[in-house]
Amino acid sequence: MQVFPLDWIERIYAGWLAKLIGVRLGAPVEGWEHERVMESHRNTPGFIDRYDVFGADDDINGPLFFMRALHDLSAAGGRVKELTAQDVAHALLNYAPYEHGFFWWGGYGISTEHTAYLNLRAGIPAPRSGSVEQNGPTVAEQIGGQIFIDGWGLVAPGNPELAARLARAAASVTHGGDGVHGGVFIASLISLAFVERDIDRLLDRALEQIPAASGYARLVGAVRSYHREQPDDWTAAFRRLREAHGYDRHGGGCHILPNSGIIVLALLYGKGDFDRTIRIANLCGWDTDCNVGNVACIMGVLVGLGGIDYERWITPVHDQTIASSVLGSRNVQDATAFAAYLVRMAARLGDYRLPAPWDRLLLSEDGEESVAEAGLCHFEFPTSTQGFELERPRVPSEVDDSAPRNHLCAGGAVLANSRDRAHTGERSLGLCISGAVAGERLRVVRRSFYGLEDFAGRGYRPEISPQLYPGQEIRAFACTTAGARVSARVAIRLRSSTRPDGRGAAARVDYEWIAGPERVLTADWSEVSWTIPAEDERIIDSFGLELIPLADQEELSVWMDDIATDGMAGTSLLFTREANDYRGVNGWSRFRGLLRQETDGLHLSGAGRAEAYCGDHRWTSGVLEAVCVPQLPGVYRLLAAVQGAERCLALALHPGELRLERKLGDYEPLAAAAFDWAVGERLTLEIEVSGTRLTAAVTNAAGERQSLGCRVEEAWLGGCVGLGSDDNGHLLCERFEVREALVPSLRVGSLLPTA
């Protein structure tokens, strides 16, 4: 078995990071015409808008969650090499909320993705769901066939045939005709960029994967002819593209062909330079975030991290990724975790053996789960910071309104990926503090939760659940310079909500920093850990390390590595205590229905089925208890092991009956017992997952109790928790408590050799 090339590991990360850069660059001018972009931003050298937090975008949601089809297929016992369109369709149905967030829900027959999604929900299988035969050419050939496709090229490095096959399966779920050809072409370009450096050769070989007579192939040929005739003037080539293939030449709101022409034009005129290529694509206008995201991913693989300006592009992004899937705890990610997933799948698809230390970093003993995906921050990818930011409260950071915020510099202190020291592998997160003052406090922290208010005004609105809870443990390793005469103390630090003074939707929630016990740093790697106090009604939104110099020092260097969160969580939510607005409730994500907070608790209702989820997708066991009052006739559920909109376990109240159920697309009974309940009756529902055992009980106000239990397959263990209302019901939940929810321990020291 061949060893997976180390260079490919870096280029996969570079490609995905570049995708994030491109989407972020293009988002502020999406939909603008060429002249408007040129007039406003011809001389803008970097990002157009300054973002403290860049919200979710459909161009990012698609790759993040359609690629989950590979994991889900493997977990179900299938072979990833045999991925089908229907496998990707299952991922779409499982991870996309119903008609909100994720991508543009513009209406049936208007939005291609919306149309295909409703087709799938109606039982129309993939690939018919996205086909020209089902939806007509105008709907089927919009741009989405290529904007979500980058991951399929990244998992097939140097193998355009494989990339084309995977991309064809994925794109055909929602698109047809040239909509699919575009996805195949872009994925093939990304795959080929691992092994080809010449742009013309890249285009030639990618064209081999689509029909030569297709409109897409003819468009690529036309743009290449413009370039040959006017090789030094990209604006002249764009004018010719717009005249022959502008939006007025194609139906629908955002046809794939005009925008594909921009991608080819930017590649040709960019001449292999990352900055020049993505700026040309952006200055052309039209669907800028999509086009620049695709072309940036191609170029990121082509030039690698060394070809991407660190200060201009990488530092402002700092690995941060926000998504808007149906699972709130999956909606705060970082670029390295997804890159780790892509590397793992690329090795499996290509029959490669991962080199050390990546073999033990990216594969667990069963070969399924990545340590990085499970929540470990390891910093092994070059330049990676995994969303950690630097705060130096004593010295306010300089603010430049014309540039993106620098999350990694504050008052002479600099946070960066480092090869100087490492606890495991070869890299860590390094902090160099200039002019350290005795007793000052510097924080290196990462957000673990964002509230609804953080994304006001952004489309694809994310709904996020915390990734960290009271009762869990935070662990990290840290050290300082060898031979240092003076050093610093270090402690785990987190920011959590305080109890608000008022009640109800208008109650104000403040946050405060709290810290664990301190220890003195030495030149040897030392473990720093803290179990978060088990306090109710707190949302933890940030965690990390706090450093306190012991004396004034001209320069102090500290390294951090293998930062993990795991252990046993416990939380009790009284819903009138947390901020919310009419669009949702902080800490919860919705599949479908209306979720709102009123003075008496949390209300869930909807036409047909309504479901909402909270908690951590990493929970493998636990006890869930809720006090609920059915407001109308219907079917009501307490949900556990939620792995998406299509998969969970449930305790269900049916008329006159209590059931344990499993959801795989729809609910099916596992066990049942007679139990009479009434509308308006206060009921205590309990469900526990322990190993392969599922037990549940319901107790009414009179103290009458009914219990039942059953065995479940191991594949169903683990996931979020939630509430469900069915058959047009309306459920009030007065209290919702999670106890002993376990996130498996990540003892990286036992997995990797100490450097």
Task: Residue 18: name the closest of 345, 294, 372 by CA.
Answer: 294
In this prediction, residue 535 carries a pLDDT of 67
Q: What are the residues facing 616 on neighbouring strands?
A: none
In this prediction, residue 549 carries a pLDDT of 93
pLDDT digits (tens, 9 = 90+) for 557-567: 999 999 999 88
Backbone angles phi, psi at 356, to 5 degrees: -70, 145
The helix/strand/coil state of 614 is: strand
Q: How confident is the model at residue 571 (pLDDT cuts 50, 70, 90)?
A: confident
- Domains 8-44+57-317 and 571-743 are alike in CATH topology: no
Q: What is the biggest distance separating any 2 CA atoms in the chain, rounded to whole angstroms?
A: 85
Hey, where are the domains in the chain? 8-44+57-317, 376-567, 571-743
Q: Which helix (H) or strand (E) holds 476?
A: strand 472-480
Q: How confident is the model at residue 226 (pLDDT cuts 50, 70, 90)?
A: very high
Q: Mean pLDDT over residues 105-120, rounded?
A: 97
CA dihedral for 261, 264, 270, 274, sign (positive or negative): positive
The helix/strand/coil state of 699 is: strand
> Of 406-415, 646-655, 668-677, which range is least confident?
406-415
More confident residue, 176 or 701: 176
In this prediction, residue 79 carries a pLDDT of 92
More confident residue, 513 or 546: 546
pLDDT digits (tens, 9 = 90+) for 449-503: 988 778 755 668 899 999 899 889 999 999 998 777 778 999 999 998 764 433 4
> Of 70-74, 93-97, 359-363, 581-585, which range is least confident?
581-585
Q: How far apart are CA 540 and CA 513, in angstroms?
A: 10
Q: Which residues contact 538 (CB under 8 A, 6 or more apart)?
A: 470, 496, 497, 498, 571
- On the question of pLDDT at 375 being above 80, the answer is no
- On the question of pLDDT at 371 being above 80, the answer is no
Asked whether the beta carbons of 298 and 23 are under 8 A apart, the reply is no
Q: How confident is the model at residue 687 (pLDDT cuts 50, 70, 90)?
A: very high
Q: Which helix (H) or strand (E) holds 751?
A: helix 748-751
Q: Which residues contact 442 (CB under 8 A, 6 or more apart)?
A: 390, 391, 392, 410, 413, 431, 433, 546, 547, 548
Percent of the chain with pLDDT over 90: 75
- On the question of pLDDT at 617 being above 80, the answer is yes
- What residue type is 192 in one-letter code? L
More confident residue, 496 or 694: 694
Asked whether the beta carbons of 307 and 7 are under 8 A apart, the reply is no
Q: Mean pLDDT over residues 711-715, rounded?
A: 82
Top CATH class of 571-743 equals mainly beta
Strands 584-585 and 580-581: antiparallel
Q: Which residues contact 704 (CB under 8 A, 6 or more apart)?
A: none
In this prediction, residue 583 carries a pLDDT of 60
Q: How far apart are CA 80 and CA 87, in angstroms?
A: 10
Q: Which residue has the tokens 């901020």?
A: 579
Q: Which residue has the tokens 């179990």?
A: 531
Domain 376-567 architecture: Sandwich (2.60)
In this prediction, residue 714 carries a pLDDT of 74
DSSP string across 258-298: HHHHHHHHHHHHHTT-HHHHHHHHHHT-SSHHHHHHHHHHH
> Of 229-243, 265-279, 381-395, 654-668, which range is least confident?
381-395
Q: Mean pLDDT over residues 550-572, rounded?
A: 89
Distance set, CA 384 to CA 59, 310, 537 (Å): 21, 11, 33
- On the question of pLDDT at 366 being above 50, the answer is no
Task: Residue 380: name the closest of 409, 430, 418, 408 by CA.
Answer: 418
Specify the length of the chain in residues: 755
Percent of the chain with pLDDT over 70: 91
In this prediction, residue 749 carries a pLDDT of 41
Mean model confidence pLDDT for the chain:
90
CATH of 8-44+57-317, one of 3.40.190.10, 1.10.4080.10, 3.40.50.1950, 1.10.3720.10: 1.10.4080.10
DSSP string across 67-95: THHHHHHHHTT--GGG--HHHHHHHHHHH
